[in-house]
A and B are shown apart, each in its own frame.
Chain A
Amino acid sequence: MLAFTHSRNAKLALLQDYFRTVPDPERGYALAAIARDLDIPAVKPAQLRALISERMDPELFGYAYDYVGDLAETIALAWPERQSRSPGRNDAPGLTEVVETLLASSRAKGPGLVEDWLDRLDAPGRYALLKLVTGGFRMGLSGRLIKQALAGFGEVHVNEIEELWHGLTPPYLELFAWLEGSGEKPVNAAAAPFRPVMLSHAIDEADFEKLDPADFVAEWKWDGIRVQATSERGVHRLYSRTGDDISATFPDLVDRFSFEGALDGELLVARPAGDDIETGSFSDLQQRLNRKTVSARQLRDYPAFLRAYDLLQEGDEDLRGLGFLERRARLETFIATLDPLRFDCSPMLDFATWEQLAELRAAPPAAVIEGVMIKRTAAPYLPGRPKGEWFKWKRDPFLIDAVLMYAQRGHGKRSGFYSDYTFGVWRDSGELVPVGKAYFGFTDEELTEIDKFVRNNTVERFGPVRSVRADPEKGLVFEVAFEGINRSSRHKSGVAMRFPRISRLRWDKPPREADRLETLERMIDTPR
């Protein structure tokens, strides 16, 4: 069920139900499995194929695998049971037995153990086992969601979980004891822990009247990945802003953590250019994201770089209670001691009035800037999103007019509506090419109107998807807003938009007047 539901709340409810009803240490090992925090000997797909081919005719297995398409699932379903349908069997291994045995075993013993367990488990159990030992136990859950489920289960703030997380080990007995109220809050004794980050509010035009520019400083909002770089007692960790440890993906940067402390900053790609540093685009950074291993070529062509915003910890001293300006002065001195090819400070912007800041925002010096950050000079570093301290003032979104091409049925509250849209723009050849997908930005009334259009103008149906009429004279034009655009070899159009959403329905506009692909291509790497 966890793997099939699209509803965030339903996922949280399932996880919390599980934590409530399953005892230690079983629930802790399950948590470790879904959070990918288990280091157990992996069993390779070829070893699994060898196991099943000893038990069943390879030709039959081949038919089944062709149909199912997933090796672990096929084996789990097809594994011949010694006595078929014996509901009374009680020797099925629990997750605890499986994990503790694997943790204590050598790599070579893996396949033999798995074979024995496959004989003792039912089909869902076999599936879970095979996903566990092949490392594919994901179920569409983000680290953040798992931590939120824990926070909800224990009625604590998610920041507290994030702060503790990296000091904990499976099966997390102290954590569960604390969350259930039967134990003290665990003390994070690990070096280089994650510190919950401080976030900003989007600013409204109306806010400026209430804010005195003299109380604030401003800096560029860099368009990379917000990170925390922590180095203590020889332990170096790079965290995402939700506390996921991403050190392994950026060894080139982490190797240069020659400091004791914790920095808040933006992860970018940057290359030396003469005496200066030239920052790469977000597309460049994407070459480095979500990789388990990094090639020498990626390290050379897309070097990771940290542009620092803040200093949270220096040596033994926690700076988070100091005002921003004091921390900033300490940060500048701190960064001056680090490798300039890997670290610098995000420069402060010079302005006296909000109008001056608006002018700076309108003409950023680089494409990899997505607006400005406004920070109260006296603000301490507070976890979460405190009111009135930090503001983001993003540049205006890009806008294009695109034509609706495909619509897909929604889930949950949008069941029965075509609510997920693929839109396209014109090629020179006169064809539409899909450039993005959006599923929000419209009101409920607009959704009903779009749905009606989709149903009345369906050309073809493919399961839950319909293609709709989209030719120069007849079709539905969307004004689409988005935050950025990159080159992408994975998309037919060669471009990928970031955070696209529907900003207006252009019932008035004939599709032939929608934008062309070359307009989007020109937007790439254009500072604005």
Chain B
Amino acid sequence: MPTASAGLTKASDPISEFFAVLAESGHLATFEGQSATLRFDVADGAEVERWHLAVSNGDVTVTREDGAADAIVRADRPHFEAIVTGRLNAQAAMLRGLLVCEGSMAACIMFQRCLPGPPGSTGRVAPITGATVMSQRRPE
């Protein structure tokens, strides 16, 4: 079986980088209590690149195998790049048909837990004073 690092290290490729980080961690708390396998078929022109992700109670293994999985996730490379860098929401991509999920929907929903949020999201916003709220009064 190829090791996790084999073939995952192409520099400045966000998809390879994303899977390399997953593989390196070996364990993700957000997957604890969950087990599933997913295969990602990423189309780059005529070529299809594959990653295989196995989750076993939080333990994560990534390979480039072309094996069976609970869910097959298909997308074009530019869109999948946007998804793994947080620039495109996976659920929205699915509704737009940019991401196609076959097999276990539960596995797909589990996977999206490890995706990053949009770049620039800070979790913070400036407070609004009562005076400002009162000045924006809406029709009764």
Are both chains from one complex? no
Q: Which A residues have a C-beta under 8 Å from some C-beta of B?
A: none
